[in-house]
Amino acid sequence: MRFDQILGQERAVATLRATLREGRIPNAYLFEGPWGVGKTRTALALAAALVCRTGSDEACGVCPACVRAGRFQHPDVRMLFPVMSDEDDPESIAAVLQAVADDPHHVFTYEKAASIRIGLTRELLRELAYKPYEARRRVVVLRDADRMREDQYSAMLKSLEEPGASTLWVLTTSRPQRLPPTIRSRCLRVRFTPLDEETIEGYLLDRAGVGAAPARLLAALAAGSLSRALTMRGENVAGLRDEALRQLGAANSGDASRILVAAGEAAAWSNREKMRRTLEFQFLLLRDLLRLRHGAPEDALVNRDRIADLKRVAPAIDVREIRRRTALLEEVVRAIDANVTPEAAFFSAYVRWAKHLPQDVATRAEAWPAWNRARVET
Amino acid at 150: E
Tell me the closest approach of the beta carbon of residue 3 to Zn ion, in angstroms. Answer: 12
The stretch near Zn ion (CB under 5 A) out of 44-52, 278-286, 311-319, 322-330 is 44-52
Question: Of the candidates 181, 130, 104, 121, which has an alpha carbon nearest to the alpha carbon of residue 155?
Answer: 121
Please compute Rg for the chain using Cα positions: 25
Question: Of the candidates 199, 78, 60, which has an alpha carbon nearest to the alpha carbon of residue 142?
Answer: 78
Q: Which is nearer to Zn ion, 60 or 120 (CB)?
A: 60
Question: Of the candidates 226, 220, 215, 205, which has an alpha carbon nearest to the alpha carbon of residue 291?
Answer: 220
The stretch near Zn ion (CB under 5 A) out of 62-70, 168-176, 214-222, 290-298 is 62-70
Q: Which is nearer to Zn ion, 52 or 160 (CB)?
A: 52
66 touches Zn ion (CB under 5 A): yes
Contact with Zn ion (CB under 5 A): which of 2, 17, 58, 63?
Answer: 63
60 touches Zn ion (CB under 5 A): yes
The stretch near Zn ion (CB under 5 A) out of 49-57, 134-142, 261-269, 340-348 is 49-57
**Helix or strand (DSSP H, E) at 352:** none
52 touches Zn ion (CB under 5 A): yes
Q: Which is nearer to Zn ion, 63 or 260 (CB)?
A: 63
Q: Which residues ranging from 162 to 181 are in contact with Zn ion (CB under 5 A)?
A: none
Q: Could you tell me the end-to-end alpha-carbon distance of the chain, in angstroms, rounded to an integer?
A: 40
77 touches Zn ion (CB under 5 A): no
Tell me the closest approach of the beta carbon of residue 296 to Zn ion, in angstroms. Answer: 45
- In this structure, are residues 289 and 317 in contact, taking their beta carbons and an 8 Å threshold? yes
Q: Which is nearer to Zn ion, 52 or 93 (CB)?
A: 52
Tell me the closest approach of the beta carbon of residue 47 to Zn ion, in angstroms. Answer: 11
The stretch near Zn ion (CB under 5 A) out of 59-67, 83-91, 268-276, 295-303 is 59-67
Q: Which is nearer to Zn ion, 66 or 124 (CB)?
A: 66
CB-count exposure of residue 314 (10 Å: 0-12, 13-18, 19+): middle
190 touches Zn ion (CB under 5 A): no
Helices (H), 207-356: 212-221, 226-231, 237-253, 256-268, 272-293, 307-313, 319-337, 342-351
Tell me the closest approach of the beta carbon of residue 52 to Zn ion, in angstroms. Answer: 3
- In this structure, are residues 96 and 81 in contact, taking their beta carbons and an 8 Å threshold? yes
Distance CA 85, CA 189 (A): 30
Binding residues (CB under 5 A) for Zn ion: these are 52, 60, 63, 66
